[in-house]
């Protein structure tokens, strides 16, 4: 029989509703506040939720928004209130509630709402992408979300000034738009056409690092920027370069000027290190809800270990690591031992992995090889950007890479 979670701070209402629904043969879970409801939702996986709006810790509308942002609104939710308004009912329905019951709740209305909810087919496909709205306990991420929403309400183009440990994609996913459509322009090499913009209408176009775009991809970006209003699109781009740096690499001045009109410097993972346990836990929950990984949870020791890692690859690296841990761990709980065993040794150690028990010359050469391999990966093999990042003149850089047995990435510099 279906499992129903009843969330209400009034014990009399919880007991009355649970008695009625148990008599109808349903399994019942009870929660007196939003905190307990979160735990029950995660552990019990109810088939349906009856959710009170007015509660002492977090109101029901906020909890509903949180579940929607987390990709957890994959069960029918019926809102309940004794002081509701039409506006409240409309907002709850817009967020994802399927019905709204006024207290005192008539027996027949209750049973009819439950029956309709349980008969309602669930929407197929993966949950909505994770956004900043999922991180309700992090003050820096809550403030970042408000800034992003404020800026996005006034402009269609947002440039994120980022460096190592970037949260750029998470920020871009949080830009409010009229459609969930998403297009990563850095993944498109062929000329962009009108059909692709029409398919993304109302959504977001994203570039994770401007400096990695080829000449053809730069033209695609310019083509899209000229048509933002026509197709109700927003563009979010990220870079650690200055406008002058891009112009020196041959970017069109008009495009650079347009991109740099409004910018924001979001925090990196290092800046929100204390919130990394929440980041990792929410990513794990989202992957589980989407069916990408089995149901898992982090131990406190594992979260502390993850918090102490450098994460130079930012949000994408963290998400990949969480997914690897969830898929590679045999137990339901991911422990500190799993982090040490399953993540790359250099990441888990938080070091470059150079042995100190060797002569200085060999240790220096090993470090240099790791250093240049790391930056070659980050820069996609682009020698212009690698020379700029490492501070070496290009001729000397080519000589150094050859000495270390590394392949110079000339092919990545083609337009």
245 and 156 share one domain? yes
Q: Is residue 125, in this structure, part of any structural domain at all?
A: no
Q: What is the CATH number of the domain that holds 81?
A: 3.40.50.2300
Q: pLDDT grade, residue 356 (50/70/90)? A: low
- With respect to residue 354, please indicate whether it lies within any of the assigned structural domains: no
323 domain-assigned:
yes
Q: What mean pLDDT value characterizes the chain?
A: 86
138 and 258 fall within a common domain: yes
Per-residue pLDDT of 23-48, as tens digits, reads 999 999 999 999 899 888 887 789 99
30 forms beta bridges with 6
The whole-number average pLDDT for the span 15-29 is 94
* pLDDT exceeds 50 at position 56: yes
Q: Is the pLDDT of residue 411 over 50?
A: no
pLDDT digits (tens, 9 = 90+) for 93-122: 888 898 999 888 999 999 999 999 898 765
> What burial class does residue 154 get, using C-beta atoms within 10 Å of its C-beta: 0-12 exposed, 13-18 middle, 19+ buried?
exposed
Residues 295 and 260 in one domain: no
Bridge partner residues of 6 (DSSP) = 30, 50
Residues 17 and 69 in one domain: yes
126 occurs within a structural domain: no
124 belongs to a structural domain: no
pLDDT at 350: 45
Q: Which of 80-89, 233-242, 346-355 has the highest mean pLDDT?
A: 233-242
Together in a domain, 222 and 240: yes
| Residues 315, 258 share a domain | no
Q: Is the pLDDT of residue 325 over 90?
A: yes
**If you search the block for the tokens 């090889």, which residue do you land on?**
369
Q: Count CB atoms within 10 A of the CB of residue 200.
A: 19
HSE-CB for 225 with a 13 A CA cutoff = 23
Is 150 in the same domain as 227? yes
Please tell me whether the overall predicted TM-score, pTM, comes out greater than 0.75 for this model: no
- 355 domain-assigned: no
CATH number of domain containing 324: 1.10.8.60
Last residue of a domain, one of 264, 290, 315: 264
Decide which of 91, 119, 147 is a domain's last residue. Answer: 119
Quick: pLDDT tens for 145-193. 999 999 999 999 999 999 878 999 999 999 977 788 999 998 888 999 9
Indicate if the pLDDT at residue 357 is higher than 80.
no
Say yes or no: 48 and 162 in one domain: no
Quote the domain boundaries for residue 81: 3-119
Look at residue 163 in the predicted model and tell me its pLDDT.
Answer: 83
The whole-angstrom separation of Cα 369 and Cα 129 is: 37
* Residue from 27, 85, 31 nearest 61 by CA: 85
- Find the CATH number of the domain harbouring 378: 1.10.10.60
Q: What is the rounded CA–CA span in Å between residue 415 and residue 410?
A: 11
Same domain? 207 vs 182: yes
Q: What is the mean pLDDT of residues 312-327?
A: 90
Tell me what pLDDT residue 96 has.
Answer: 85
pLDDT at 125 over 60: no
pLDDT band at 67 (very low <50, low <70, confident <90, very high): confident
- The answer to whether position 127 is within a domain reads no
Select from 274, 236, 258, 7 the least CA-distant residue to 131. Answer: 236
Name the pLDDT band for 281 (thresholds 50, 70, 90).
very high
Structure tokens at 217: 């991809």
Give 127's pLDDT tier (boundaries 50, 70, 90): low
pLDDT at 124: 46
Query: Is residue 48 a part of any domain in this protein?
Result: yes
Q: Which of residues 65, 92, 119 is at a domain's end?
A: 119
Shared domain for 391 and 374, answered yes or no, is: yes
The beta-strand segments (E) located in 65-150 are 77-81, 99-102
Question: pLDDT tens for residues 365-393?
Answer: 878 887 887 777 666 677 887 887 788 88
**Rounded Cα gap, residues 280 and 241, in angstroms:** 28
Name the CA radius of gyration of the chain, rounded: 25
> Which residues, other chains included, contact 272 with Cβ-Cβ below 8 Å and sequence gap of 6+?
138, 140, 141, 167, 279
97 and 152 both lie in a single domain:
no
Contact 205, 234 (CB under 8 A): yes
How many structural domains are present in the chain?
4
Question: Quick one: 154 and 246 in the same domain?
Answer: yes
């Amino acid at each position: 029989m279906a499992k129903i979670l009843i969330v209400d701070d009034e014990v009399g209402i919880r007991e009355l509703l649970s008695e009625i629904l148990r008599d109808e043969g349903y399994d019942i879970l009870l929660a007196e506040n939003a905190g307990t409801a979160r735990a029950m939702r995660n552990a019990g996986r109810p088939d349906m939720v009856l959710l009170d709006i007015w509660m002492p810790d977090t109101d029901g509308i906020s909890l509903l928004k949180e579940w929607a942002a987390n990709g957890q609104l994959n069960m029918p939710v019926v809102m309940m209130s004794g002081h509701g308004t039409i506006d409240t009912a409309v907002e709850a329905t817009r967020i994802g509630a399927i019905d709204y019951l006024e207290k005192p709740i008539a027996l027949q209305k209750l049973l009819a709402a439950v029956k309709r909810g349980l008969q309602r087919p669930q929407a197929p496909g993966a949950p909505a992408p994770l956004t900043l709205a999922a991180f309700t306990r992090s003050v820096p991420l809550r403030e970042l979300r408000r800034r992003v929403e404020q800026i996005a309400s006034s402009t269609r183009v947002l440039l994120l000034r980022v460096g190592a440990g970037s949260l750029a994609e998470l920020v871009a996913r949080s830009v409010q738009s009229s459609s969930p459509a998403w297009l990563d322009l850095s993944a498109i090499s062929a000329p962009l056409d009108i059909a692709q913009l029409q398919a993304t209408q109302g959504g977001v176009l994203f570039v994770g690092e401007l400096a990695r775009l080829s000449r053809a991809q730069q033209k695609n970006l310019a083509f899209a920027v000229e048509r933002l209003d026509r197709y109700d699109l927003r563009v979010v781009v990220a870079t650690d370069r200055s406008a002058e740096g891009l112009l020196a690499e041959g970017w069109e001045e008009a495009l650079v000027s347009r991109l740099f009109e409004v910018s924001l410097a979001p925090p990196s993972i290092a800046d929100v290190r204390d919130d990394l346990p929440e980041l990792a836990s929410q990513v794990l929950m989202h992957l589980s809800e989407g069916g990408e990984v089995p149901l898992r949870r982090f131990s406190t020791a594992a979260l502390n270990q993850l918090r102490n890692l450098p994460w130079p690859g930012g949000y994408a690296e963290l998400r990949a690591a969480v997914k690897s841990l969830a898929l590679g761990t045999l137990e339901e709980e991911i422990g500190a031992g799993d982090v040490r065993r399953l993540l790359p040794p250099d990441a888990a150690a938080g070091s470059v992995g150079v042995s100190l028990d060797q002569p200085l010359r060999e240790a220096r050469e090993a470090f240099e090889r790791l250093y240049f391999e790391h930056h070659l990966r980050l820069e996609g093999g682009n020698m212009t950007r690698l020379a700029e990042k490492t501070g070496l003149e290009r001729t000397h850089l080519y000589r150094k890479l050859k000495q270390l047995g590394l392949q110079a990435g000339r092919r990545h510099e083609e337009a």
